[in-house]
Amino acid sequence: MPRHADPDLETRVLDAAQTLWRGGGDKTFSMRALARAARTNTPAIYRRFKTREDILRALLLRLRQDIYQTLEPSQSLEEVCERYLDFALRRPREYELYYTHQYEFLRSAHVPGRAEMPVFQWVQKKFAERLGGSPEDSARLVLALWALIHGTASLLIAKATPPDLATELRSACTRAVQDLLQAADQRAS
């Protein structure tokens, strides 16, 4: 009797992959552990995903969507920045996965240039709506803000600052974002 494809397999595998990654990153992400967590077997996973990298690529695409869904309801650019930092700190292993591997995996899927950065493009569009001009006009400011927020998130995730400075670091990042946006508003006026 022929096998029937499990319509929920992909979702179960990606849910399990996400849970495993959150729990321990690469250390807990084996195919056997994934099969157990997804309530299936490794051959079934390999029939759906040819390689481990394919699973990680699908997980990265899911994370990209999660980031967008986190940012999209924001009422202001300041809130976009805060939500982005909150996402990184709430889901540190996934955030590290996203920024450690996204370009490698997406490039291997032949996704060129900024086309692989839809969240960045969405933020540029939001900046253009606030400041005027085209989204490309805001690219340098968006990159600078992303570098500031990503650097802050990375330092906080790595616990690279003494605990008593962590709150101050986050506060300094928030204030710097506000200052940069205020300066951009004044320049646009």
Q: What value does the CA radius of gyration of the chain take, rounded to a whole number of Å?
A: 19
112 or 36: which leads in pLDDT:
36
The chain-wide mean pLDDT, for the chain, equals 88
Is the torsion defined by CA of 44, 47, 53, 56 positive or negative? negative
Q: What is the pLDDT of residues 79-118, one digit of tens each?
A: 999 999 999 999 999 998 888 776 665 555 544 444 557 8
The tokens of 95 are what? 């955030």
Find out whether 34 and 55 touch, Cβ atoms under 8 Å. yes
The pLDDT value given to residue 167 = 93
Q: In this model, does residue 73 exceed pLDDT 60?
A: yes
CA dist 90 and 42 (Å) reads 30
CA dist 183 and 57 (Å) reads 38
The pLDDT value given to residue 140 = 92
CA dist 109 and 111 (Å) reads 6
For the packed helices 92-108 and 77-90, what is the interaxial angle rounded to 10 degrees?
100
Helix (H/G/I), strand (E/B), else coil: 104: helix
CA dist 53 and 148 (Å) reads 30
Q: Give the start-to-end residue ranges of the domains of the chain.
A: 1-49, 61-188
Q: What is the pTM of this model?
A: 0.85
Of the pLDDT bands very low, low, confident and very high (cuts 50, 70, 90), residue 3 is low
Would you report the helix, strand and coil content of the chain in percent, each value rounded to 5? 80, 0, 20
Domain range 1-49, CATH class: mainly alpha
The pLDDT value given to residue 107 = 58
* Average pLDDT score over residue span 63-92: 95
The pLDDT value given to residue 114 = 46
